[in-house]
Structure 1
Amino acid sequence: MAILLAACLISAGCVTENAGNESAATLPGTAWSLQSYIDADGSMTTVLQGTEITLIFSQEENTTGGYTGCNHYGGSYRVNGEAIEITSIHQTLRLCTEPEGVMVQEGAYLAALASAATYAVDAEGRLILSDSTGRPLLTYEPLPAEAPPAQVGTSWHLLTYADDNRTRVSILPGTTITLIFDDEKNFTGSAGCNHYGGSYRVDGETFSTDSIFRTEMYCLEPEGVMEQEDAYLAALKAAAAYKVDAEGRLILFDASGMPVLFYEQVIPPEDLPLVDTRWVLEAFSPGGDTVSSVIAGSQVTLAFSGDGRIAGSGGCNSYGGSYRVNGEAIEITSINRTLKYCLEPEGVTEQENTYFELLESSAEYRIEKERLLLFDASGAMVLTFRAGS
Structure 2
Amino acid sequence: MSRVVLTGGIILIILAVSFSCGCTQEPVTEERKLTETVWMLEKYMDADGSMAETLATAPVTAEFAEDTVGGTSGCNTYNAPYVADGQSLTVGMPIVTMMYCGEPGVMDQESRYLSLLQTAAEYTVSGDLLTITNSAGQEILIFHAVDQNLDGTEWLLTGYNNGAGGFVSVVPGTTVTAAFSEDGQMSGDAGCNSYSGAYTVTGSAISIGPLVMTEMYCASPEGVMAQESAYLAAVQAAASYRVGPGDLTFMDADGKRMAVYERYTPTPQGETWELTGYYNGKGVVSPLANTTITAKFGADGQVTGSVGCNNYFASYAVSETEMTIGPAGSTKMYCASPEGVMEQELRYLNLLGDVATFERAPKTLTLRDAGGSILLTYTVAQPKLTTGEWHMVSYRDAEGKTVSALEGSKVTAVFGTDGQVTGNSGCNTYFGSYTTDKPSISVGPLGLTLMYCETPAGVMEQETGYLAALEAAVTYQLSGEDLTLQTKDGSVSVRFMQAS
Shift of 1:302: 3.0
1:46 and 2:55 aligned: yes
Q: What corresponds to 2:259 in structure 1?
A: 242
RMSD of the TM alignment (CA)? Answer: 5.7
1:197 lines up with 2:199 in the alignment: no
Q: How far did 1:385 drift?
A: 1.5
**Offset from partner CA, 1:168-197 (integer Å, 9 cap, x none):** xxx9xxxx6324142557996866xx5643
Amino acid at match of 2:225: G
Structure 1 pair 333–110 and aligned structure 2 pair: CA distance change class (3 A): farther
**Amino acid paired to 2:133:** D
The 5 Å alignment of 1:116-127 reads 116=120, 117-120=122-125, 125=128, 127=129
Partner of 1:277, secondary structure, is coil
Unaligned stretches of 5+ in structure 2? 1-15, 160-169, 176-190, 196-212, 241-255, 267-359, 365-378
Q: Residue 241 and residue 158 in structure 1: after superposition, are their counterparts in 2 closer, same or farther (change >3 A)?
A: closer
Matches within 5 A, 1:170-209: 177-179=173-175, 180-184=191-195, 196-198=224-226, 199-200=229-230, 201=233, 202-203=235-236, 205=238
Match of 1:365 among 464, 468, 477: 477
Q: Deviations over 1:41-83 (max 9, x none)?
A: 76323232xx66544444xx35443344654433445556666
The C-alpha deviation readout for 1:251-278, integer Å capped at 9, x for no partner, is xxxxxxxxxxxxx986564343625422
Deviation at 1:312, TM superposition (A): 4.4
Aligned counterparts of 2:40 and 2:21: Cα–Cα separation in 1: 10
TM-score using structure 1 length? 0.51
Q: Distance in 2 between matches of 1:68 and 1:326?
A: 63
Q: Distance in 1 between matches of 2:101 and 2:471?
A: 55
Q: 1:278 to 1:97 in 2, by over 3 A?
A: same
For residues 154-303 of structure 1, the aligned pairs below 5 Å read 177-179=173-175, 180-184=191-195, 196-198=224-226, 199-200=229-230, 201=233, 202-203=235-236, 205=238, 240-248=257-265, 269-272=379-382, 274-281=384-391, 284=393, 300=412, 302-303=414-415
The structure number with the bigger radius of gyration is 2
SS in 1 for 2:150: coil
Aligned to 1:89: 94
Report SS of the residue matched to 1:74: strand
Are 1:76 and 1:88, in contact at CA under 8 Å, matched by a contact in 2?
yes
Structure 1 residue ranges without an equivalent (≥5): 16-21, 151-155, 160-170, 208-238, 250-263
Distance change in 2, residues 1:197/1:367 (3 Å): closer
Check the 8 A contact 1:359/1:383 in 2, yes or no.
no
Query: Contact 1:56–1:64 at 8 Å: present in 2 too?
Result: yes
Q: Secondary structure at the match of 1:110?
A: helix
How many residues get paired? Answer: 300
1:141 to 143, 146, 163: 146
Report the AA paired with residue 182 of structure 1.
N
Q: What is the aligned partner in structure 1 of residue 498 from structure 2?
A: 385
The letter for the 2-side match of 1:46 is L
How far has the Cα of 1:5 moved from its partner? 6.5
Partners of 2:457 and 2:108 in 1: how far apart?
54
Report the AA paired with residue 31 of structure 1.
V
AA aligned opposite 2:484: L
Cα distance per residue 1:131-152 (max 9 Å; x no partner): 33124444563355378979xx
Q: 1:66 aligns with which of 58, 63, 71?
A: 71
**Aligned residue number for residue 26 of structure 2:** 11
- What's the offset of the Cα at 1:37? 5.7
Judging changes above 3 Å, is the alpha-carbon distance between structure 1 residues 367 and 24 closer, same or farther for their aligned structure 2 residues? closer
Task: Note the alpha carbon deviations across 1:12-61, whole angstroms, 9 max, x for none.
Answer: 8x99xxxxxx7343x4443355566666676323232xx66544444xx3
TM-score when normalising by structure 2: 0.42
Distance 2:261 2:469 in 1: 40
Partner-residue secondary structure (3-state), 2:146: strand
**Higher relative contact order, structure no. (Cα contacts within 8 Å, ≥ 6 residues apart):** 1
- 1:37–1:139: 8 Å Cα contact kept in structure 2? no
Counterpart of 2:496, as a letter, is: L
Tell me if structure 1 keeps the 8 A contact 2:436–2:442: yes
Contact in 2 for aligned 1:316/1:352 (Cα 8 Å): no
- Residue in 2 that maps onto 1:31: 38
Paired residues of 2:420 and 2:432 also in contact (CA < 8 A): yes
Structure 2 partner of 1:310: 421
Distance 1:79 1:299, change over 3 A: farther
1:300, distance to aligned residue in structure 2 (A): 4.5
